[in-house]
């Protein structure tokens, strides 16, 4: 396959089209700044969408399944919203869902064309965003200020360490893929080390689990698709070095008293809010019973009024907030993305490693959804767009190769 699939000469591009890649970089680069609402990401993404329309970005018909499940999910949300249309928070929730769904479709359309260049743009911008959030969080943590902390946990430029931690996983795996493909690079290794420290100090059990699953899945797929035993050996060597590096960082962090105490507390399998009469696992069971009795759901943000707390489980929440239609569509969205991503992650392509790490991170996030709500994470929709867009680009490249062979 050629790495220049779908590229057009710069001279042949319209002025609006030439703005697409710079605005794509901007949108991803500011995606970690969410301490304020609306976040800069919203404005940058709106500009990107307008320029994409003006620049004539094409939507591949193979995106129809993604568009269909996202539309059904949001249709379920609108139907469920009719019960609580007086609640401004519920209206905002549905509006955000619609906007995020559009962002996924937009990213998917972008990645089907000019694929490698846009992947490199997103990789660079995402690593910058993650490093900026982490550097800010660690600096403020070290200064003793509460601005970038949440109960002693680093949250960077996010409101919640449980979102900040998972945000770091994709750039970490991208850096790992780069080191694997292009060889040793001190700056990338240092960047990965900084992000690992940030992930550790988020003290998010879900993020730790997500990273472990994502790293194993990414390593396994790269091993399966490696072109030779020599490359597989290099991958195993990198895995060992990565584990040693992680162990060293954990040991160094634990030597700090405050970090050691927090790690000991957060490393427990369950916390006080997980168990008991009002623990998350008990209320999830109650929420499931409620969902079965309400085909149209109870509306966004309403489950807490029935069980006392939010469910902290994205699949239950999908049915509760969006009814059976929306919940089933959300399940279909996750399962279809996993199937499509896995199918094309096994195909060798110039962007194959990026598809692998996007798929692995999405899979880890889907598992983390069993213990937290992930349906409004901005990077979740970037992952959706990457997986569908790169899978379609791979399928199109394979089809072009077949046509050349039969011509």
Alpha-carbon 269 to chain mean position: 24
Q: What's the average model confidence in pLDDT over 207-232?
A: 91
Flag whether 5 is in a domain.
Answer: no
The pLDDT of residue 287 is above 80:
no
Q: How confident is the model at residue 244 (pLDDT cuts 50, 70, 90)?
A: confident
Flag whether 402 is in a domain.
Answer: yes
Higher pLDDT pick, 161 / 275: 161
The pLDDT of residue 225 is above 60:
yes
Looking at residue 306, its pLDDT comes to 72
Residue 179, both tokens: 């080191």
Give the tens place of pLDDT for each residue, 296-315: 988 888 877 777 677 778 99
* Domain span at 60: 10-269+294-406
Burial (Cβ within 10 Å: 0-12, 13-18, ≥19) of residue 172: buried
The pLDDT of residue 132 is above 70:
yes
Neighbours of 82 (CB within 10 A): 9
Looking at residue 273, its pLDDT comes to 54
Looking at residue 231, its pLDDT comes to 81
Looking at residue 377, its pLDDT comes to 94
Give the tens place of pLDDT for each residue, 67-85: 999 999 999 999 999 989 8
pTM, rounded to two decimals: 0.90
Q: How confident is the model at residue 279 (pLDDT cuts 50, 70, 90)?
A: low
Q: What's the average model confidence in pLDDT over 311-330?
A: 91
Looking at residue 339, its pLDDT comes to 97
Flag whether 130 is in a domain.
Answer: yes
DSSP string across 105-168: HHHHHHHTSSHHHHHHHHHHHHHHHHHHHHHHHHHHHHHT-STTEETTEE-TTSS-HHHHHHHT
The pLDDT of residue 135 is above 50:
yes
Flag whether 63 is in a domain.
Answer: yes
Looking at residue 68, its pLDDT comes to 97
Percent of the chain with pLDDT over 70: 87
Q: How far is CA 198 from CA 40, 136, 164, 208, in A?
A: 22, 10, 9, 11
Looking at residue 145, its pLDDT comes to 66
Q: What's the average model confidence in pLDDT over 389-399?
A: 94
Flag whether 229 is in a domain.
Answer: yes
Flag whether 396 is in a domain.
Answer: yes
Looking at residue 230, its pLDDT comes to 85
Flag whether 287 is in a domain.
Answer: no
The pLDDT of residue 2 is above 50:
no
Flag whether 281 is in a domain.
Answer: no
Looking at residue 19, its pLDDT comes to 92
Higher pLDDT pick, 256 / 205: 205
Looking at residue 344, its pLDDT comes to 96
Give the tens place of pLDDT for each residue, 142-154: 777 666 566 678 8
Q: How confident is the model at residue 240 (pLDDT cuts 50, 70, 90)?
A: confident
Looking at residue 97, its pLDDT comes to 94
Q: How many domains does the chain have?
A: 1
């Amino acid at each position: 396959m050629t790495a220049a699939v779908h590229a057009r000469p710069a001279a042949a591009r319209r002025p609006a089209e030439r703005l697409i890649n710079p605005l794509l970089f901007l949108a991803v680069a500011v995606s970690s700044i969410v301490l304020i609402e609306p976040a800069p990401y919203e404005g940058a993404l709106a500009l990107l969408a307008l320029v994409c329309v003006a620049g004539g970005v094409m939507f591949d018909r193979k995106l129809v399944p993604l568009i269909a499940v996202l539309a059904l999910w949001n249709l379920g949300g609108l139907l469920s919203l009719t019960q609580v249309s007086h609640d401004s928070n519920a209206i905002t929730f549905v509006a955000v869902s619609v906007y995020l769904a559009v962002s996924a479709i937009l990213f998917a359309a972008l990645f089907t064309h000019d694929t490698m260049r846009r992947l490199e743009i997103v990789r660079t911008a995402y690593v910058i965003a993650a490093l900026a959030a982490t550097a800010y969080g660690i600096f403020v943590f070290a200064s003793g200020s509460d601005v970038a902390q949440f109960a002693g946990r680093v949250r960077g430029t996010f409101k919640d360490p449980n979102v900040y931690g998972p945000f770091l996983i994709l750039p970490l795996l991208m850096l790992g893929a780069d080191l694997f493909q292009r060889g040793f690079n001190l700056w990338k290794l240092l960047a990965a080390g900084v992000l690992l420290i940030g992930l550790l100090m988020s003290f998010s059990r879900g993020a730790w689990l997500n990273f472990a699953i994502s790293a194993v899945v990414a390593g396994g797929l790269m091993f399966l698709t490696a072109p030779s035993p020599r490359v597989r050996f290099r991958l195993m060597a990198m895995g060992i070095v990565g584990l040693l590096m992680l162990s060293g960082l954990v040991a160094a962090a634990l030597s700090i008293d405050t970090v050691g105490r927090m790690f000991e507390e957060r490393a427990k399998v369950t916390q006080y809010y997980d168990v008991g009469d009002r623990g998350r696992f008990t209320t999830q069971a109650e929420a499931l019973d409620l969902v079965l009795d309400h085909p149209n759901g109870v509306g966004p943000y309403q489950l807490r009024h029935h069980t006392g707390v939010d469910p902290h489980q994205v699949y239950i929440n999908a049915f509760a907030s969006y009814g059976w239609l929306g919940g089933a569509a959300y399940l279909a969205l996750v399962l279809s993305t996993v199937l499509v991503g896995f199918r094309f992650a096994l195909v060798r392509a110039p962007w194959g490693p990026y598809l692998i790490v996007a798929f692995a991170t999405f899979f880890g996030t889907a598992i983390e959804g069993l213990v937290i709500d992930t349906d409004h994470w901005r990077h979740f929709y970037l992952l959706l767009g990457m997986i569908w867009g790169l899978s379609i680009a791979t399928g199109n490249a394979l089809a072009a190769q077949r046509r050349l062979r039969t011509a």
